[in-house]
Structure 1
Amino acid sequence: MDIVYQLVNGVSGLPAQESRLARFFLDNFAQIPEATIEELAAKAGVSPATLQHFSRSIGCSDINDFIGQVRRQQQENRHALPAAPMLGDAAWVDPSTLQKLAKNAGVGSEILARFSHSIGRESSDDILGQIRQRLHDFSQQESRVAQMILDDVSFAASATIDQLATAAGVSPATITRFARAAGCDDIRDLRMKLAQASTPVAGGDMPGPWRETLNHIQQSLNTQLCELSPAAVERATSQIKQAKGLHIFSASTADAPFANLLQYRLLTLGYPANVCLDSALMGITASMLGKGQVLVVFAATQPGSALIAAVHQARWAGAEIVVIGGAEEDALSHQQNISLPLNDPRYGALLVIDLLCDGIERK
């Protein structure tokens, strides 16, 4: 068997992941016999099981047979390729390597990153790259989920767990197992990574101020997601959906637009809510609340004494309190409150509103 010929054919004739493996082995042909299976897997960025599958795809009985074929062909040719460190996919996407290549090519690092993605060398942090690398390691049902995601990343990034299960023809429990198998904490983490992966890389011709604004927004949203407790969001969503009455208070004029937006979003979902922006009316409204009522308070800025008193009165009467914003030790903090902190009073508030309303819509 001409193993080099098999590898060359494999570059164009095998699935994407195995084609990348063929390129990797051709690039590092001289070092293959000296490496262990575990070292080959680590350098190539795949599992040993994937190496076994690849070996059979090119006509070998297993990975040991493949290594033996390489060793025999090197001996027959009586020369070895110059020794060099194995490159692997990791070296290609190393930040310092990208910067050096970008400088030499006279292009931006974003363009180079997009090019590396186009030829199948994704970063290890790219969820799509991880899914492709593990495609043959998933169970049969998980593979169906993986293929469905790769076919329509934008849909997968925004779909509910039930929608994902229906599209892949599996159970919701399989979606949850797949998320963990793909290296994510849960389905929410998977959706967030898919959303990041499906966002187009900013073009080099984008004006500098636009790119700075975009980067700021992305960083702000990522920070906001890290600060939020999924359990707190889930609890707030359940309370709002089960409420006999909904009321929204705003701590200041700066918070008022978000209070009005939440009211509108809830109304479109069939959950009418009353918005109160007047400090004098807050006390009157709070006095009429009781069990089964939910009070949502926007407090990105320091709340006034009238709002603080109204919130305490509503809690004493038995209403559930959801505070969006507010510091951990401020006057609105209470162990019975559902606290949704904001790192950014603008983009953070918009994200929290989306998470609440999306959660209500899914239930």
Structure 2
Amino acid sequence: MSPRSVAVLGSTGSIGTQALDVIGRNRDRFTVAALSAGSNTSLLARQAVDFEVPLVALATGSADDLRRAIGAYAASLRRGSHALRGPAYAPEIVVGKEAAEAAARVGADVVLNGVTGSIGLRPTLAALAAGSVLALANKESLIIGGDLVTRAARPDQIIPVDSEHSAIAQSLRGGRAEEVRRLVVTASGGPFRGRSRAELADVTPEQALAHPNFSMGRVITTNSATLVNKGLEVIEAHLLFDIPFDRIDVVVHPQQQIHSMVEFRDGSTIAQLGPPRMLVPIALGLSWPERLDDIDVPCDWSMAQSWDFAPLDDEAFPAVRLARQVGEAGGTFPAVYNAANEVAVDAFHEGRIGFVDIVDAIARVVDAHTGRESDASTVEGVLDADAWAREQAAAELGL
């Protein structure tokens, strides 16, 4: 079996670096066809040389700086014990705002979209149009794109990389679609689980970034603290698995050993569990439907342990309830929810608003949206809604 070629979008971020770790441990199974990154020139250069990547794309920076960084790192390896295959590694370099799209269009067997935010929409559509399997960690592109993305995908072309949705996909292999009663998405509850709304008023940015289980970027970590991330995941589950919102539940499970569950109509429930890390979902995104060997350490069943489950507190954390309303409304409402959140998260970390103001601001922007401002059936329409929401959120917050 020939190796699968992979394009990694967001290669210098948390998802991207873990994906390259998986690929590096399975070089007989994968090659890297393209890498894209935001602005981390030095790390991108090292990744490009280590995997001898044909196309390297950088959103913000200088092609000359990237070329020099690649040359310097390659030269340092040649002076050492590492031997590159070619006499002079010189990849194609793309720099600019369409960098991730260029990497997505190379025609790799698998495109891992690990960028953060709505900027992932065009690369997602580019990967689908190129016929690549899309390993989707950039949930925002599916959520804001909605039917635009699902219509562009052939059956089984999108493989979820979010740990919750990977867990659901794995559990669904235990029964037929018509046998599913409901999906159960688990949530850690974030660093403020158990606090009342009043007790959240004085939360600092530093506290919001102290996730109990995962190490992630600023936006995703803050979203996990507000539970906006879980709201986005409910919308994503609806779009990925075509399950109505009233059959998608959220349950708080602080240990995050069970990543999500599927309840079937006979009363049985199948759960996928493992350490609260992303390695297995990332590896499955690259190798689906096959499993790779020794990707992570399994649970140690010889040790006594207890797992807890509790209902979600919608009063303290209203983001999930709001996301359900947004998802039911459809159209450009999910794009508005997501964009308003990104603006509010930035404002929170800049010290302009409080923690509870984040979701309150999203709700006000959603309330101001009629759904008629833009067309959800085109990329331009979705991005227009995104831009409108950012302007509205800035106005709501006095930015």
Alignment TM class, shorter chain as reference:
under 0.3
Work out which structure has the larger RCO, using CA pairs closer than 8 Å and 6 or more positions apart in sequence: 2
Structure having the higher helix fraction is 1
TM-score by length of 2: 0.25
TM-score by length of 1: 0.27
Could you say which structure has the larger radius of gyration? 1
Structure having the higher strand fraction is 2
